[in-house]
């Protein structure tokens, strides 16, 4: 039978036990993960099992790093995720945490588009740092993403997206994420994508301002290949701002919807 140790395949005899594999490959491992779940007991292995052996506090060799970064993934997920390309329109309060979540998940390629720069009021909810104030958001986020997962390809476009740019820039994407602030921008992107690629999924956000109940934020299918995240009501206005917790809840709803689409499942 074949098992995978730190993502490399090896033939072993039927009845091989985890303790034998650990002793052979990495007897000093502090963390042992089998099929995405950490274990401390010895157990018999089955064909196709995936084992990750990690030594705490030690940087693994470059050839092992990517495999160990996804050790907690559900088995069979990483290959599909790594083959996917996701485009994100706007990398502010929604787009920057969405990009980070997808980067940590190991999406193979991210296409980021935003014309704006980092400014102080962004820092209450957007995934930037004080020393990045004044930088283009796409450049700052690209740097942050590379520090998180160097195996993700990140293409950046510092432009204000219009119907002229979208068909060219987002053509390679399997899924498009709408993460704009303005309703007019949101409608423009969704309408352009649906007209250009009727079969390409779009994940959009609406209704996430303030500090209302997290459970009011939902993911729902608005129409074929268009998914809406939010409560549909809580817009940013005077007296109701944008804050990290609720924006983050919506952003991760969007990121999870993208992941489910990539894996062939219905977002919900």
pLDDT at 234: 79
Smallest CA-to-CA distance from 137 within 151, 116, 123 is with 116
Are 99 and 142 within 8 A, CB to CB?
no
Residues whose CB is less than 8 angstroms from the CB of residue 240 and which lie 6 or more positions away in sequence, other chains included: 209, 210, 234
pLDDT at 232: 84
- Per-residue pLDDT tens over the stretch 159-184: 999 999 999 999 999 999 999 988 89
E-strand ranges in 61-134 read 85-89, 109-113
Q: Which domains does the chain have, with CATH numbers?
A: 2-61 (3.10.20.30), 78-262 (3.40.50.720)
- Per-residue pLDDT tens over the stretch 77-121: 999 999 999 999 999 999 999 999 999 999 999 999 999 999 999
DSSP state of 223: E
Q: Is 252 exposed, middle or buried (0-12, 13-18, 19+ CB in 10 A)?
A: middle
Q: Is the pTM value of this prediction over 0.85? A: yes
| Size of the chain, expressed as the number of residues it contains | 268
- Return d(Cα 167, Cα 186) in angstroms, integer: 16
Please list the ranges in the chain whose pLDDT falls under 50: none
- Report the side by side order of strands in the sheet with 37-38: 8-11, 2-5, 50-54, 31-34, 37-38
User: How many Å is the maximal CA-CA distance in the chain?
Assistant: 67
- Return d(Cα 105, Cα 160) in angstroms, integer: 27
DSSP bridge partners of 156 = 112
- Paired tokens of 179: 């993460």
């Amino acid at each position: 039978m074949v098992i995978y140790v730190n993502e490399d395949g090896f033939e072993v005899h039927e009845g091989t036990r985890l303790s034998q594999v650990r002793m052979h490959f990495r007897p000093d491992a502090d963390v042992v993960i089998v099929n995405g779940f950490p274990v401390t007991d010895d157990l018999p292995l089955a064909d196709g099992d995936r084992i990750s052996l990690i030594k705490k506090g030690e940087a693994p060799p470059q050839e092992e790093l990517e495999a160990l970064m996804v050790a907690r993934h559900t088995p069979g997920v990483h290959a599909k995720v790594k083959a996917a390309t996701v485009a994100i329109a706007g990398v502010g309060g929604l787009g920057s945490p969405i990009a980070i979540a997808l980067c940590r998940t190991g999406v193979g390629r991210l296409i980021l588009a935003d014309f704006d720069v980092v400014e102080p009021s962004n820092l209450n909810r957007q995934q930037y740092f004080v020393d990045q104030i004044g930088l283009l958001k796409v450049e700052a986020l690209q740097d942050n993403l590379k520090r998180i997962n160097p195996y993700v390809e990140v293409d950046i476009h510092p432009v204000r997206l219009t119907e002229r740019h979208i068909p060219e820039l987002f053509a390679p994407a399997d899924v498009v994420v709408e993460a704009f602030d303005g309703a007019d921008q949101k409608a423009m992107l969704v309408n352009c994508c649906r007209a250009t690629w009727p079969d390409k999924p779009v994940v959009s956000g609406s209704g996430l301002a303030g500090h209302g109940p997290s459970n009011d934020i939902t993911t729902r299918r608005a129409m074929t290949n268009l998914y809406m995240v939010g409560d549909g009501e809580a817009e940013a206005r005077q007296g109701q701002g944008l804050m990290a917790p609720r924006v983050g809840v919506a952003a991760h709803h969007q990121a999870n919807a993208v992941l489910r689409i990539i894996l062939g499942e219905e977002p919900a």
